[in-house]
């Protein structure tokens, strides 16, 4: 039986997203199933950005004039909304970045640069997005530490036995792990992993790009040291993201980029740094983006992250069931119970790019490729997959349309 406390008015939600009533290729309805790449925006977010530019556009933390004060208040209010949304202890722990990628690079170039060297180990996983592999490789080439990767099991979950064994080596200084895989959809047991990392004397960084848009996240309960995510995947604008860091770590870390706003004093002989979080926000920040993200968080909170999660679980379970009935289709990753709102698959005889193109001609937007997870695809023994990914506004009818599109593609290829 459906738990009615965990449902919402889907039609009303869809009506909040103007793009969903646009026609694709001029005449077919848009069926947007590429939410893992980026999500659509509700009118409330679009209008918040529009209002900022139309009525109170000014730089922040600088002017004493009214517009600047108003812009500063809106920018800082957004930080407070985000603090509440992830249950951080202080707004000083919320750093505005350009997105997940920048957040991870920031930790690598500050905490990593100071704390990692020859003989140290960073533990990552085979299912990471490139943004949680490459920044560590760049730094490792310079600092001489080693990166080891937690393997994955046949069902697409992490090999937790191997993780425990890798941690026994006392040289692990940092564990970096994706919360929800953008390809397999695997929801990793990050709370348990963080606890184990701490017991082994290591810190933990979680890539929350695919979790925070879809499920309640409490950074305090997780006891995570660093948590990075992107605004554009959680109905907010592009160009804005968040790095959460425990205050004690952020206080001890040197700044990364230098410039305006991140300093306390500047003399020709040297400078001192501003307090948190401004130490890590050099230059004019992404003001409209931060304000827009604040409104996105309002929208998600008002609807309820538990309800959004429940809705997506229903859609994903339905999609997996229907996809598994399609002959010649192979799904990757664990079953619905352990999975985020992602279904990546290969389809016998049709290249993922061709498939995505045929689906697109019917108005269905999916992504094809390696999804910035080349090591994972190498592990799976395939160069690319087709991926449908769902969000709060998707419907079971849209899943049906995807299935129909797959059968049509089969016919097109005369398979
Ligand atoms: N981490 C994960 C797990 C991701 O899925 C992505 C983006 C990123 C990090 C990087 O986020 P950014 O906002 O800094 O670019 N993932 C995808 C995707 O799956 N398709 O397009 C982008």
The 10s digit of each residue's pLDDT in 285-305 is 999 999 999 999 999 999 999
- The answer on pLDDT for 36 being more than 80 is yes
Q: How confident is the model at residue 415 (pLDDT cuts 50, 70, 90)?
A: low
Element spanning 82, H or E? helix 66-86
Q: Which residue has the tokens 């860091």?
A: 245
User: 88: which residues sit within 8 A by CB, 6+ positions away?
Assistant: 82, 94, 219, 220, 244
pTM of the model: 0.98
CB 39 less than 6 A from any atom of ligand 1: no
| Helices 287-303 & 66-86 angle (0-180, nearest 10) | 40
Alpha carbon of 129 to ligand 1 centroid (Å): 7
Q: Quote the DSSP letter at residue 34.
A: B
Question: Which amino acid residue places its CA nearest to atom 16 of ligand 1?
Answer: 37
Which pLDDT belongs to residue 120?
98
Ligand 1, residues 39, 99, 100: which to mutate, most atoms within 8 A of Cβ? 100
Shortest-distance atom of ligand 1 to CA 131: 9
Locate the DSSP E strands across 155-202: 172-178
Q: What is the CATH number of domain 10-32+304-412?
A: 3.90.1150.10
- The answer on pLDDT for 1 being more than 70 is no
User: 70: which residues sit within 8 A by CB, 6+ positions away?
Assistant: 56, 58
CB 134 less than 6 A from any atom of ligand 1: no
Alpha carbon of 61 to ligand 1 centroid (Å): 31
How many percent of the chain have pLDDT more than 70? 99
Which pLDDT belongs to residue 86?
98
pLDDT in tens, 307-319: 999 999 999 999 9
> Would you give the distance in Å from CA 161 to the centre of its chain?
26
**Judging by DSSP bridges, how do beta strands 94-97 and 241-245 pair with one another?**
antiparallel
CB 131 less than 6 A from any atom of ligand 1: yes
Q: How confident is the model at residue 97 (pLDDT cuts 50, 70, 90)?
A: very high
Element spanning 369, H or E? strand 367-369
Alpha carbon of 235 to ligand 1 centroid (Å): 14
Alpha carbon of 243 to ligand 1 centroid (Å): 14
How far apart CA 374 and CA 377 sit, in angstroms, is: 5
Ligand 1, residues 124, 129, 133, 243: which to mutate, most atoms within 8 A of Cβ? 129
Domain ranges of the chain: 10-32+304-412, 47-302
Which pLDDT belongs to residue 412?
87
At the top level of CATH, the class of 47-302 is alpha beta
Q: Answer whether 327's CB lies under 8 Å from 404's CB.
A: no
Which pLDDT belongs to residue 4?
65
**Judging by DSSP bridges, how do beta strands 31-32 and 28-29 pair with one another?**
unpaired
Question: Which amino acid residue places its CA nearest to atom 7 of ligand 1?
Answer: 37
CB 129 less than 6 A from any atom of ligand 1: yes
- The answer on pLDDT for 62 being more than 90 is no
Q: How confident is the model at residue 2 (pLDDT cuts 50, 70, 90)?
A: low
Annotated catalytic residues are 372
pLDDT in tens, 377-395: 999 999 999 999 999 999 9
Which pLDDT belongs to residue 162?
98
pLDDT mean over 164-185: 97
Shortest-distance atom of ligand 1 to CA 230: 13
Which pLDDT belongs to residue 165?
98
Which pLDDT belongs to residue 370?
95
Which pLDDT belongs to residue 222?
98
pLDDT in tens, 191-201: 999 999 999 99
CB atoms within 10 A of CB 227: 27
CB 124 less than 6 A from any atom of ligand 1: no
Q: Quote the DSSP letter at residue 269.
A: T
Q: How confident is the model at residue 63 (pLDDT cuts 50, 70, 90)?
A: confident
CB 240 less than 6 A from any atom of ligand 1: no
Which pLDDT belongs to residue 51?
98
CB 207 less than 6 A from any atom of ligand 1: yes
How many percent of the chain have pLDDT more than 90? 94
pLDDT mean over 410-414: 84
Q: How confident is the model at residue 357 (pLDDT cuts 50, 70, 90)?
A: very high
pLDDT in tens, 327-349: 999 999 999 999 999 999 999 99
Q: With DSSP H G I counted as helix, E B as strand and the rest as coil, what are the percentages for the chain, rounded to 5?
A: 45, 20, 35
CB 105 less than 6 A from any atom of ligand 1: no
Alpha carbon of 305 to ligand 1 centroid (Å): 20
């Amino acid at each position: 039986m459906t738990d009615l406390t965990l449902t919402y008015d889907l039609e009303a939600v869809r009506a909040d997203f103007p793009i969903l009533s646009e026609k694709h290729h001029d005449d077919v309805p848009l069926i947007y199933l590429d939410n893992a790449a980026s999500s659509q925006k509700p009118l409330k977010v679009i209008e918040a950005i529009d209002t900022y530019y139309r009525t109170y556009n000014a730089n922040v933390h600088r002017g004493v004039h009214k517009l600047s004060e108003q812009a500063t208040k809106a920018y800082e209010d957004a930080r407070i909304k985000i603090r509440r949304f992830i249950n951080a202890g202080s707004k000083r722990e919320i750093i505005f970045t350009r997105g997940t990628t920048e957040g991870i690079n920031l930790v690598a170039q500050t905490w990593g640069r100071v704390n990692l060297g020859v003989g140290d180990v960073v533990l990552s996983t085979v299912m990471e997005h490139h943004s949680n592999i490459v920044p560590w490789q760049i730094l490792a080439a310079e600092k001489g530490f080693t990166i080891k990767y937690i393997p994955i099991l046949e069902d697409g979950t992490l090999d937790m036995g191997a993780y425990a064994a890798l941690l026994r080596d006392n040289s692990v200084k940092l564990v970096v792990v994706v919360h929800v895989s953008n390809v397999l959809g695997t929801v990793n047991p990050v709370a348990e992993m963080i606890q184990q990392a701490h017991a082994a004397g290591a810190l933990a960084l979680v890539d929350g790009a695919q979790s925070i848009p879809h499920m309640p996240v409490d950074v305090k309960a997780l006891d995570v040291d660093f948590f990075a995510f992107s605004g554009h995947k959680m109905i907010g604008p592009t160009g804005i993201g968040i790095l959460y860091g425990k205050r004690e770590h952020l206080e001890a870390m040197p700044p990364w980029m230098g410039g305006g706003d991140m300093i306390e004093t500047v003399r020709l002989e040297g400078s001192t740094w501003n307090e948190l979080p401004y130490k890590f926000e050099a230059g004019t920040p992404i003001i409209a983006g931060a304000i827009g993200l604040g409104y996105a968080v309002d929208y998600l909170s008002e609807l309820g992250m538990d309800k959004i999660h429940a809705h997506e679980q229903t859609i994903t379970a339905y999609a997996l069931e229907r996809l598994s009935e399609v002959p010649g289709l192979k799904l990757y990753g664990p079953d619905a119970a352990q999975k985020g709102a992602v279904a990546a698959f290969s389809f016998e005889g049709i290249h993922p790019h061709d498939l995505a193109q045929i689906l697109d001609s019917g108005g269905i937007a999916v992504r094809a490729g390696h999804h910035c997870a080349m090591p994972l695809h190498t592990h799976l023994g395939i160069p690319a997959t087709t991926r449908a990914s769902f969000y709060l506004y998707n419907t079971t009818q849209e899943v049906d349309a995807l299935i129909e599109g797959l059968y049509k593609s089969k016919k097109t290829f005369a398979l």
